[in-house]
A and B are shown apart, each in its own frame.
Chain A
Amino acid sequence: MKKHTLLILALAVVLVMPVLMHSGSLASEVLIFGLAAMGCNLLLGFTGLLSFGQGIFFGLGSYTVALTLTRWPLPMPLALALAMVTGGLGAALVGWIAIRQKGTYFVMLTLAFAQMFYFIAYTATGLTGGDNGLLDIPRPSITAFGQTLWPLTSPWQFYGFVALIFLVAFWLLLRVSRSTFGRTLLAVRDNEERAGAIGYNLKLLKLQAFVISGAVTGLAGALHAMMIGIAPLANAEYHTSEMILVMTVIGGTGNLFASVLGSAFYLLLADWLSALWPRWLLLLGMVLMAVSLWMQRGLWGLGEKLWHLRQGKHGQIRDQTTVQGNKT
């Protein structure tokens, strides 16, 4: 795969959505959850860590931006940056503790932490608004020298803003995934024991992955709060963590763009089907089972197969042991 293919694909998605879709909010959501899924993928697809705690960082981002745009006002860019910091710090804490265990025990720990965070958010009504959440989050326009440069009031105006942030974040994460660090993570995923035996400090590597994941997810949570105007308790629920995981897996853990595919698939399906059939989650559950059983490389893997079939490269598909689907 060429070096810039993924970035071009991401750009394509960003440019195509306003043309094909009616709802600016939905388009923004696709990018926002695309970011969250990428954060999850950094842990799952690259490091081999299945985390049920992504909702924690998403929620932290939402609450931070809510508080720093209403109660303790900060300029909006700073509020977003702070959301990344709290997401990253939360992930550092959860990660530092959860990493002490491996395999299933690690997964259960992330689950336990997610539940704890939910109940803390539920009871700390002073900070989080409890069941009600934090309301009336504004969308301040981007200003310079007193002039309004870019109002964010309409859905498509906000989309433009989200798209820009998304593309920058995508590019940065892509760099991380291709960096020395990203390559070392792949080794950790492949054979953790050997990675330790050849000199790598596993705890430090996993922790850094967690922090980056948490920061990106926090950013997504912040943008989400700005978009819907509230920081709801639901962001900290099990369902949010589950949803982000589902998007990541369905898209495919092979590369970062696949996560955007996953988020688009989930949200567009939800939007389209939920009006027709309230029980559309049934379909999603079945898709998840199908992917886990037969299509473990997700939608991206499916796309790759179809592409190769079209190109007539039958031989390439047969050998499943080739280097994991070009992580780049």
Chain B
Amino acid sequence: MNIYLLQIINGVGIGMLYFLLAVGLSIVFGLLRFVNFAHGAFYLLGAYFCFQMTRWGLSFWLALLVVPLVVGALGWLTEKLMLRHVYATAHEFHILVTVGLALAVQELVILQWGPLGDSVAVPDILQGVVMWGSFVYPKYRLFVIAFTAVLAVLLWYLLEGTRLGSAVRAGSESTEMVSLLGINVFRIFSLVFALGAATAALAGVLAAPIRGAEPFMGVEALGVAFVVVVVGGMGSFSGALLGGLLIGVVQSVMSTLWPEGARLMIYIAMATVLLLRPHGLLGRKE
């Protein structure tokens, strides 16, 4: 099969995961106006909780359902107990409290599961490849693409079609207005933050069979999430999708042309966007 076609499909797969990873970060920024440096930690927890569940003999599918809920709950608690106290302070402290959290979570993970990392098996029905004429591709990766696509639609519906979504979008414009309308803004903050954590964890669960669970994946994921969110537009759902796919494909194609350059390129892309169009490709102007 044509190597470029293969890399593009890989890129789409990675890109969808990047989207899932980044969308939570983007929405949290849009509403709460700060960047959650602990976002990668939720991704990390997702991968490790999934690993632990499979260790206990539970099915991957159960993990796919349960882990995001658990991590989402953790996210909700984090916002309610901790972050709420820093909203009124200088923005450097929002960032730094989440940096501290990320560090603590990473160390806790190493404490519990050791520093070396573990692998997670692909669930039985998805093992092996799909063959369609000369098109050969791993089943699991196709599943990831399909699943995240469905999820993207669901999320989009949640944001555009429901009352909660309207409140979130309105809150992104003006939290004052929203609270004057009688909606409990703080509860929405917690929910959105929880949603962000849950989607990051879901990305971690899906990524685990592909790349395993390893303690430093959180930091790496955070870096990528930042790039996607910046390129696509902070606060924009479609931006996260476009950004994710763009970065995923670019990274994938570059890995055949110039492997070391791939990572460099995406950060150059990030800086360029920040300078020329800081609200990203699809973000709203402040």
Contact = CB atoms under 8 A, between A and B. Distances in A.
Q: Do A and B come into direct contact in the complex, CB within 8 Å?
A: yes
Interface of A: 44, 48, 50, 97, 100-101, 103-105, 107-109, 111-113, 115-116, 119-120, 122-123, 238, 242, 245-246, 249, 279, 281-282, 284-289, 291-293, 296
A108 B93 contact: no
B254 interface: no
Contacts of A123: 260-261, 264
A295 to B, nearest CB: 11
A275 B264 CA distance: 36
Contacts of B2: none
Interface string B215-232: 000010001001100100
A249 B274 contact: no
B264 A116 contact: yes
A287 B82 CA distance: 14
Contact of B101 (A103, A281, A285, A291): A285
A282 B111 contact: yes
Contacts of B102: 285
Interface in B208-260: 219, 223, 226-227, 230, 234, 260
Contacts of B261: 123
B103 A285 contact: yes
A113 B260 contact: no
Contacts of A249: 92, 96
A94 to B, nearest CB: 10
Nearest to A123: B260
A289 B219 contact: no
Please classify the interface of chain B as helix (H, G, I), strand (E, B), loop, or mixed, using the class held by over half of its residues.
Answer: helix
B103 A112 contact: no
B170 interface: no
Contacts of A238: 219, 223
B36 to A, nearest CB: 11
A293 B267 contact: no
A285 B219 CA distance: 14
Interface in B11-48: 29, 33-35
A205 B31 CA distance: 32
B104 A104 contact: no
A288 B278 contact: no
B107 A104 contact: no
B111 A279 contact: yes
B278 to A, nearest CB: 5
Interface of B: 29, 33-35, 82, 85-86, 89-93, 95-97, 99-108, 110-111, 219, 223, 226-227, 230, 234, 260-261, 263-264, 267-268, 270-271, 274-275, 278
Contacts of B86: 292-293
B111 A289 contact: no
Contact of A105 (B223, B263, B268, B278): B278
B270 A286 contact: no
Contacts of A113: 267, 271
Contacts of B99: 242, 245-246, 288
Give the most central of B95, B103, B230: most A CB within 10 Å.
Answer: B103
A288 B94 CA distance: 11
A282 B41 CA distance: 13
Contacts of A108: 35, 226, 230, 270, 274
Contacts of B104: 282, 285-286, 289
A97 B274 CA distance: 10
18 contacts: A44-B92, A97-B271, A107-B95, A109-B271, A112-B227, A112-B230, A112-B267, A112-B271, A115-B263, A116-B267, A116-B268, A119-B264, A238-B219, A246-B99, A279-B110, A281-B103, A288-B100, A288-B103
A279 B112 CA distance: 11
Q: When A and B form their complex, which 8 residue pairs have the shortest distance between CB atoms, in order from nearest? A: A288-B100, A285-B103, A285-B104, A282-B107, A292-B97, A289-B100, A119-B264, A112-B270
A119 B92 contact: no
Contacts of B93: 292-293, 296
A97 B267 CA distance: 14
Given A116-B271, A249-B96, 8 more contacts: A50-B95, A97-B275, A111-B223, A112-B274, A123-B260, A284-B100, A285-B105, A293-B82
